[in-house]
Chains A and B, each alone.
Chain A
């Protein structure tokens, strides 16, 4: 019998597979070994934005407390988007991933937020403290005490 967090993840996966939302696709091939606690989602930059046509890969890691606990979300793969809130190690500075997490959010909602975060960017660049952060941060972005400075980008 699956655990509550697995059941919730199953439901999310089902709905994303049944009605795939635009710009994101769950990579089920890596999940084949029945581990629902790690997901890979392919994102496509939205049309009419700086990231149009680009493909990114997001990695989700869920704790057994999900959805009461937020997932650990990072960019992974070769293409980490150049964005003022995305560090070169894939960490994302986005409040809903930590302080503003809510169990009503979902993988789809998080992906949407990230796509819209990318879409609203006016300049492709790394955060100003990228070099320092990447050197000193923990592997888990949730351990970072984020300072959410800019809500407009």
Chain B
């Protein structure tokens, strides 16, 4: 047992040491460590050996064992875990002392010791240079030297590692002031020396730090810089004692590093040439703002300081983050300059080239001692830098992800880069949050056309699936967009229009990818490659993961059925708006594609609708064009679209009395129909359809396509030039308000005019001249003749209201999902859970239901 320089240890304690220093020390060590891990907090007793003393010095055996293991790191002894001592004689340190904290304190302590030792690893001369004499007062030094004369620094350091942290913290725990150990005194001396030095140092710093931290290396920058380098150690004390605010230190270090780095770059002429011009004669240097340039001096000091920091073992602890900032800034600047909204090319290759050059510089400047380091170490550091570069590049791409997505697939190259970055760095949550915000801000507002929103949605799904083929990204990002699209009424129309537009990319997708795949079938053959979802992926029933684009679109609507319903409404609308039952090859083609995609049974109704159209077409040919056709001699050429009502969406009910010739033509048509289709008759939907009229008025002739109601209104002005609203409303069987809009149409055409007092009349042909708006010949009523799908489903739900009430009477309260599943049992109620929720919430607002704790119940 040898530890020179310390006050002699009392005999008793020596005995204790030797007891603990039994032959199999390494085992002892292991067991201690293990026990520490398990006994977090509560002291547990060891079975066979006496408890290790807190401040014991390492035995020679231990030392040897350690040397052999070649472990010298702080975590190998004592300072490793959170320092729960198993000794009953010593109270456990507080829980807040974390390992990292411990280590950094220890590192500081180590540096203090080295500093005081004025020797050891650092040659005395060098040390003198780095740590100016005034750091330690002379008398103090002699005092200290009396106490600690350390011929073997390593031993001292080891002692320090194993005991210093304990010692350091112990005064905070022992309130009784009981200090039995001699070692504590040594520590105290060290400690006080450090603090008093720091206090003194602070006073000096106050004077000198200011000019340095203010100026971006402005005039006279060299002096404080040099000063700072020389006083780094003092600064360390200061920060250790918390006498200097951390932010100040940060600032100082930041400046120190950026300044040093810039100088170095300048000197080596590797900085970006356009920003730095060295030889602009007469002017001060741009890197150091000095004339003549002092960059080389700065660099020298800078290197020296880094070396010193490294020697102190403080490089990472103290300078790490700042240095990191400087490098980060360097990378950022370069990347932003490189990328600058050029998304159609990949930048990764160029960046890598730049990186390889730059990497060397970073290492040479900041890790000067690493130049001679092993290949492996260098590689490790380079890799760290590379990850930093990729992270910055990835973030840079992400920050403009919206524009990149909109430009997809042109932006594919840069997304390729992003994919590469994301393999190395976890940027997912960043991408998800940023893109979501961007989408919400730039896309989801009323000013953007549905086409554009949809286009962007498609591009987003595609681009994200390109970056991440597993679909998780798309799954995470798109819900708000889907939600939004679902609320926009014309979305399904836009989808279908693009699906059926042969030149559109969606149609392409439909043709390319027609197979309807049942998602429930699990592919058991490649289960080995199955990977569980990350935990932050929502359990969403609209799974975009394995789906393609069409499914991504359908998923907006929650279910296939709802989407198909919407399609049916759209198809019906389109068919009813046709001038006459005619060419529907495009619709048939589209339906065939959809059938491949969604299965036949769901599209059965649409199929019947199309069949109705072609049947009607044949019927009309038969009635009008064939030899001896039944209706060849009619006054009005009435063509009918005869529909199977069960298969079409519900038509809006509206009464309308048509002009007599038309009514007669309908009767004839019905008779002809009954003749060929036994036992069947027709019910006319008089308000639906299109009428081609030729209006001859005041010498001009207008040919217009109008609605039956519009045609009917005008028809009556033939017999009588002026009509009161009431009168006309009676004869046409329509409400005055509906009538008004029809009259308004003819007023806009310059044919009718409002004569006041609810009387309308023909425009006096001669004086008013030509109708103004004659060019617009296709102005059919824009109202859909059918009730909307959601209204239909709401009506359907209303029929079940009594049932839902009954259910809630019996079961008291139910969650939405349960009500939905019970309604689904009847299968004919095709409503999405969202629609049901809307319906129920409406009931809540009408006080017919109460919603609390996620359950619906009847009001008491």
Binding site for B on A (CB under 8 A): 1-2, 10-11, 13-14, 17-20, 25, 28-29, 31-32, 34, 36
Contact = CB atoms under 8 A, between A and B. Distances in A.
Max chain B Cβ within 10 angstroms of own Cβ: one of A17, A25, A29, A31: A17
B448 interface: no
Given A1-B601, A29-B811, A18 B803 contact: yes
Contact of B799 (A13, A18, A20, A36): A18
A36 B822 CA distance: 12
B825 A34 contact: yes
B806 interface: yes
Given A18-B800, A29-B811, A32-B821, A10 B827 contact: yes
Nearest to B821: A32
In the A-B complex, the 5 residue pairs with the smallest Cβ-Cβ separation, listed nearest first, are: A17-B803, A1-B601, A14-B826, A18-B799, A10-B827
26 contacts: A1-B601, A2-B827, A10-B826, A10-B827, A11-B828, A13-B825, A13-B826, A14-B826, A14-B828, A17-B800, A17-B802, A17-B803, A17-B826, A19-B802, A20-B803, A20-B806, A25-B806, A28-B807, A28-B822, A28-B825, A29-B810, A31-B825, A32-B821, A32-B822, A32-B825, A36-B825
Interface residues on B, range: 10 to 19
Contacts of A32: 821-822, 825
Interface in B785-839: 799-800, 802-803, 806-807, 810-811, 821-822, 825-828
A38 B272 CA distance: 81
A29 B821 CA distance: 11
A19 B806 CA distance: 11
A31 B807 CA distance: 13
Nearest to A17: B803
A10 B807 CA distance: 18
A9 to B, nearest CB: 10
Contacts of A2: 827
A18 B804 CA distance: 10
Nearest to A6: B827
B828 A10 contact: yes
Contacts of A20: 802-803, 806
Nearest to A7: B827
Contacts of B822: 28, 32
A17 B826 CA distance: 10
Interface string B624-668: 000000000000000000000000000000000000000000000
Contacts of A11: 828
A13 B826 CA distance: 7
B599 to A, nearest CB: 9
Given A11-B828, A18-B802, 16 more contacts: A1-B601, A2-B827, A10-B828, A13-B825, A14-B826, A14-B828, A17-B802, A17-B803, A17-B806, A18-B800, A20-B802, A20-B803, A20-B806, A25-B806, A32-B821, A32-B825
A20 B802 CA distance: 9
B316 to A, nearest CB: 63
A10 B824 CA distance: 10
Contacts of A1: 601
Contacts of B821: 32
Nearest to B824: A34
A83 to B, nearest CB: 27
